[in-house]
Homo-oligomer: A and B are copies of this chain.
């Protein structure tokens, strides 16, 4: 296999965006082309989950080609639920590693503002099992609520640990100009003070308002290239060194132990094996905290901490921006936002920015190896990536 490098990146602010879906895709693409100085690419992948239903638009990848005048380059849309972004990066990797292409653009884009909150919840629930989950009213927040309750009981995680994830990630987001939420929160404000329960109402017991990511619009882009092309680009050399993908049962209730996220574990194992590194070699990571509990559990399943000890590492400050292994320096899905199809590409954008040493106020010192975990379904299709600075 040929080596594959990230040569360009771009991102929109994750927010409520006024412009059409194709422009949400085009903006970070143009930014990434400027970043590496190329005006042509061999192929384009677009990660998107909701275009057909929410925006009345299919074939988004073809639309983007037109918007950027990139024809006759080929283009395809990739969908793997909320893990669409990392899946699209993997397709880009394979296109270059195989020798089919030398330069591939990978864009993630989502415009969810067309949907009100109820419809957005229903839309995301369309990834659940139609006959065993959807028809009984299962939503992602309800699955996350039940999962959290089991996890609390088994491992001693408390609501205060969940709040610590939210506070850490909101604090990190204050240093990220592209983050959706620039709202400092405190334990007093969301858990302890007199207004805490008003500020932070129960949504899906035991998960409260601040345990949920926002519904965001947004786009992100990375441009991948062969070693030969990459060496001509005057940007830091960041290699996409490992990719792991794994699946699990569609229904959470069919898992032998529903508190295990086996697809996360296996995807990480495959990724580290391919990159020839160990979890302890990772300097900075973006984990998929669509719900606060997920950051804690993923930090265990990928191998950063022992099972049941993720909340203790969090509590000790190990995963804070100035800790030993900063997690979600971007603000994570919790505060940076979660435009579903764009999220995985956004995670890669953050890691590449960190490895390049261009993360400004939120820069992790001497970050050489970065990791992302992009979580599809309720953990039934997970894609992990490892990036290494050379």
Contact segment of A70-78, A197-205, A301-309, A331-339: A70-78
- 1/0 per position for A58-74, CB-CB distance to B under 8 A? 11011101110011111
Q: Which residues of B contact A131 (CB under 8 A)?
A: 20
Interface pair A249/B80, CB less than 8 Å apart: no
- 1/0 per position for A246-281, CB-CB distance to B under 8 A? 111111000000000011001000000000000000
Could you say which of B53, B72, B94 contacts A53, with CB atoms under 8 Å apart?
A: B53
CB of A57 closer than 8 Å to a CB of B: yes
Q: With A and B bound together, what is the CA distance between A247 and B76 in angstroms?
A: 11
Could you say which of B58, B70, B97, B251 contacts A100, with CB atoms under 8 Å apart?
A: B97
Q: With A and B bound together, what is the CA distance between A62 and B79 in angstroms?
A: 10
Interface pair A75/B247, CB less than 8 Å apart: yes
CB of A172 closer than 8 Å to a CB of B: no
Q: With A and B bound together, what is the CA distance between A81 and B249 in angstroms?
A: 28
Q: Which residues of B contact A377 (CB under 8 A)?
A: 59, 62
Q: Which residues of B contact A73 (CB under 8 A)?
A: 246-247
Q: Which residues of B contact A134 (CB under 8 A)?
A: 56
Q: Which residues of B contact A79 (CB under 8 A)?
A: 52, 58-59, 61, 76-79
Could you say which of B56, B77, B246, B263 contacts A80, with CB atoms under 8 Å apart?
A: B77
Interface pair B246/A62, CB less than 8 Å apart: no
Interface pair B61/A381, CB less than 8 Å apart: yes
CB of A322 closer than 8 Å to a CB of B: no
Could you say which of B66, B74, B77 contacts A129, with CB atoms under 8 Å apart?
A: B66
Could you say which of B56, B61, B75, B94 contacts A130, with CB atoms under 8 Å apart?
A: B56
Residue of B nearest to A96 (CB): B98
Q: With A and B bound together, what is the CA distance between A68 and B95 in angstroms?
A: 27
Interface pair A247/B130, CB less than 8 Å apart: no
Q: Which residues of B contact A77 (CB under 8 A)?
A: 78-80
Interface pair A66/B98, CB less than 8 Å apart: no
Q: With A and B bound together, what is the CA distance between A101 and B50 in angstroms?
A: 29
Interface pair A72/B263, CB less than 8 Å apart: yes
Within 8 A of B (CB), among A29-63: 43, 49-50, 52-53, 56-59, 61-63
Interface pair B381/A59, CB less than 8 Å apart: yes
Q: Which residues of B contact A22 (CB under 8 A)?
A: 130
Interface pair B126/A72, CB less than 8 Å apart: no
- 1/0 per position for A7-20, CB-CB distance to B under 8 A? 00000000000001
A127: shortest Cβ distance to chain B, in Å? 4
Interface pair B59/A127, CB less than 8 Å apart: yes
Interface pair B87/A380, CB less than 8 Å apart: no
Interface pair B80/A62, CB less than 8 Å apart: yes
CB of A137 closer than 8 Å to a CB of B: no
Please name 4 further chain A to chain B contacts, defined as beta carbons within 8 Å, in addition to the given A49-B58, A76-B78, sorted by A numbering: A62-B250, A65-B380, A71-B247, A98-B98
Interface, chain A (partner B; CB < 8 A): 1-2, 20, 22, 43, 49-50, 52-53, 56-59, 61-63, 65-67, 70-81, 87, 90-91, 93-95, 97-100, 123, 126-127, 129-131, 134, 243, 245-251, 262-263, 266, 376-377, 380-381, 383
Listed from nearest, the 10 A-B pairs whose CB atoms lie closest are A74-B245, A66-B250, A98-B98, A97-B98, A59-B81, A72-B246, A59-B127, A62-B381, A71-B247, A77-B79
Q: 25 A-B pairs, CB-CB below 8 angstroms?
A: A1-B98, A43-B245, A49-B52, A52-B53, A56-B130, A58-B126, A58-B127, A61-B79, A61-B381, A62-B247, A62-B250, A62-B377, A63-B129, A63-B250, A65-B247, A65-B380, A66-B247, A66-B249, A66-B380, A71-B247, A72-B262, A75-B247, A76-B80, A76-B87, A97-B100
